Amino acid sequence: MAPTKVVICGVNTSKLPLLSDDEKEALFDRMEKGDKAAREEFINGNLRLVLSVIQRFQGNNSESADDLFQVGCVGLIKALDNFDRSLNVKFSTYAVPMIIGECRRYMRDNNAIRVSRSLRDIAYKAIYARDMLIKKLDRDPTVEEISLEIDVPKEDIVNAMDAIATPMSLHEPVYQEGQDVLYLMDQISDKKNREDNWIENISLKEAMTRLDDREFNIIKLRFFEGKTQTEVAEEISISQAQVSRLEKSALKSMRSYLR
């Protein structure tokens, strides 16, 4: 079967070459002798690697495939320029993190929530310093240690890291047990929906009396007392997945009654 034709940046991806290990080594030999044609051939022969990496990012953001492909190619070229053959590491093993890093930097810089250049610079310095300190200390460094390393106040580092963090959807799945899916919103306390807001609705109270004792208790703890599902699970000694399932069942019963 012929490969599907997909055109990115004017390139027909179905016709991209795929280099063998021996071909890569031969091209490295030629590049070390200053052969510019070998360098171009090597880059073209690794564009499939770029494609495989950018597929990780396309499903989670609105960036175009063309943009991500170009950014991934920048990462590929950086990897080639910095690759050391004497380390006996496969080029793809070295290149993939470089391509991923380039894509992530691009996505952070083009986030819908614009972050000032100064904050981004501090954040990138902090990330680089953190990686260096992990290798040096063999543990995660503290904010104070990173602050000393880059000579930036720790408050500025915290603010910069918060600024480039990617926002998460409240509907982001955080845990799944069978068919029961727990979302980020299930982990957040509801401080507004307390008893004084609910008690005025007599129909709602009547609907709650039709629940069994455990469902009644879960609804009371969740919406009258503003507790998270995790807190409810610990209080009544069942799993968080069970709390989620019982809560959904109770709300469905109440909605049916109120209709």
Distance CA 90, CA 88 (A): 7
The CA distance from 47 to 50, in Å, is 5
Distance of CA 236 to the CA centre of its chain: 33
Percentage above 90 pLDDT, the chain = 8
Cα–Cα distances (Å) from 170 to 174, 176, 180, 220, 234, in that order, read 10, 15, 16, 22, 22
CA distance 99 to 95: 6
Average pLDDT (109-138) is 78
Q: For the residues 204-223, what does the mean pLDDT come to?
A: 82
Mean pLDDT, residues 94-110: 81
Rg (CA), the chain: 27
| pLDDT (average), residues 110-124 | 70
186 or 98, greater pLDDT: 98
Measure the CA–CA gap between 237 and 218, rounded to whole angstroms. Answer: 12
| Global pTM value | 0.42
d(CA 220, CA 74): 55
State how far the Cα of 114 lies from the Cα of 145, in Å rounded to an integer. 28
Q: CA distances (Å), 144 to each of 40, 122, 133, in order?
A: 45, 14, 12
pLDDT of residue 41: 92
Residue 237 amino acid letter: S
What's the pLDDT tens digit per position in 227-256? 888 888 888 888 888 888 898 888 888 877
Q: Are 194 and 224 in contact (CB under 8 A)?
A: yes
Pick the more confident residue, 72 or 179.
Answer: 72
What was the pLDDT predicted at 3?
A: 42
Q: Which of 8-17, 119-128, 205-214 has the lowest mean pLDDT?
A: 8-17
State how far Cα 254 lies from the chain centre: 37
What residue ranges in 112-256 does DSSP mark as E strands? 173-177, 180-183
What pLDDT sits at residue 227? Answer: 84
Could you give the angle at which helices 240-258 and 202-209 cross, rounded to 10 degrees? 120
Angle of helix 117-137 versus helix 154-164 axis, rounded to 10: 110
Confidence at 93, pLDDT banded by 50, 70, 90:
confident
Element (H, E) at 12: strand 11-12
Least confident segment among 16-25, 58-67, 86-95, 247-256: 58-67
Burial class (CB in 10 A: 0-12, 13-18, 19+), 114: exposed
- pLDDT at residue 69 is higher than 90: no
Residue type, 224: F
| Confidence (pLDDT) at 30 | 93
The per-residue pLDDT for 114 is 57
pLDDT digits (tens, 9 = 90+) for 3-50: 444 445 556 666 777 888 889 899 999 999 989 899 999 998 888 888
Least confident of 40-44, 85-89, 151-155: 85-89
| pLDDT (0 to 100) of residue 197 | 45
